[in-house]
Amino acid sequence: MNSIDIEVIQTALGWLGRGHRVVLGTVVRTWGSAPRPPGSMMVIRDDGQVAGSVSGGCIEDDLIRRVAAGELALHRPEATIYGQTAEEVRRFGLPCGGSVQVVLEPLGDASGLEELLRNIESSQRVQRSLDMHSGAVRLAPAGRREQVWFDGRQLRTVHGPQLRLLIIGGGQLSRYLASMAVMLDYRVTVCEPRTEYHEGWDAVPGLSLSTRMPDDEVLAMQPDDSTAVVALTHDPKLDDLALMEALRSPAFYVGALGSRHNNDRRRERLLEFEVTPEQAARLRGPVGLRLGGLTPPEIAMSIVAEMTAVQRGIDLSQPLIDWSSSRSICRMA
């Protein structure tokens, strides 16, 4: 779950606490090219105020109008579809003829939002089940592979935890990577025990600076399968300390800066520190996708692109774009 969705839940709780009627909209199914994926959320207040998004366009405007007019989700959840006809596609601006199904749910004390938020903030992954007939809500632990599920009678959505990124090193590349990751809703920690690299980090919003040794920081952070670790110091005494702990953790992404030759040597060194061959093979190095980047911001972009692909379950052994030619963009070897 990203911070935008957390803000949606927090906003809904604030509105409910002030006595407003609030409706939660959740994208449950899309056909064709849709602006937002299943699981995207927005809340609509009785006076038309909104938070979040289900399309980024005119769907929101129509939902606001219909909720304010009392046409939708007054007493129990209901589903509505946009883009079923060519006229609707033109009216709502849906790209490529896509269609979007949204479940509207009136919120209240029994919606379980406070408990849901507590679980997310404690780094738990939670499944929220909504009975479409009664409006009853049930929360339960969720597995990593569980997704949004809707059959017309029940809606199951998966929430949390927020993605985390641990960057080893406080150099120039780390600043660009940290800024991009914050924009992608990662909770970012920069680990830099060298005092000469501390200047200016307090001016970068949305992240924390740690002065621990890298292995201590990884152990303190307890990486889970929503955590990425990227080592960028070029100093084996620092990078390897972090990597040997990160590779033994469930972190979904572990990468290191350096050439193919240097990373091969790094894998050999890691084997001497109780890292198994299977764990060492998880290391993504040279880090990032081969996008032709040369400057620090271009390299940072290639790293967050690879992190995104891995987090979304994309097979990077295959071309990222099928141009039916040898010019497809492929993963860095």
DSSP letter for 190, please.
Answer: E
Q: Which CATH code for domain 164-311?
A: 3.40.50.720
Q: Are 266 and 240 in contact (CB under 8 A)?
A: yes
Query: According to the model, what pLDDT value does residue 330 have?
Result: 35
Query: According to the model, what pLDDT value does residue 205 have?
Result: 75
Burial 88-121 (b: 16+ CB within 10 A, else e): bbeebebeeebbbbbbbbbbeeebbbeebbebbe
Mean pLDDT of the chain: 85
Q: Are 100 and 94 in contact (CB under 8 A)?
A: yes
- Give CATH 3.40.50.720 domain extents, the chain: 164-311
Cα atoms in the Cβ-side hemisphere of radius 13 Å centred on 78: 12
**R_g (Cα) of the chain, nearest Å:** 22
CB proximity list for 212: less than 8 A, separation 6 or greater:
191, 193, 220
Average of per-residue pLDDT across 268-276: 91
How many CB atoms neighbour CB 195 within 10 A? 9
Q: Is pLDDT at 270 greater than 60 in this prediction?
A: yes
Q: Is pLDDT at 116 greater than 90 in this prediction?
A: yes
Phi, psi (deg, nearest 5) at residue 18: -95, 10
Predicted confidence (pLDDT) per residue in 28-65, tens digit: 988 766 667 889 999 999 888 999 888 766 688 888 88
3 state DSSP class of 218: helix
- Phi-psi map region of 324: left, alpha, beta (phi>0 left; psi -120 to 50 alpha): left
Q: Is pLDDT at 268 greater than 60 in this prediction?
A: yes
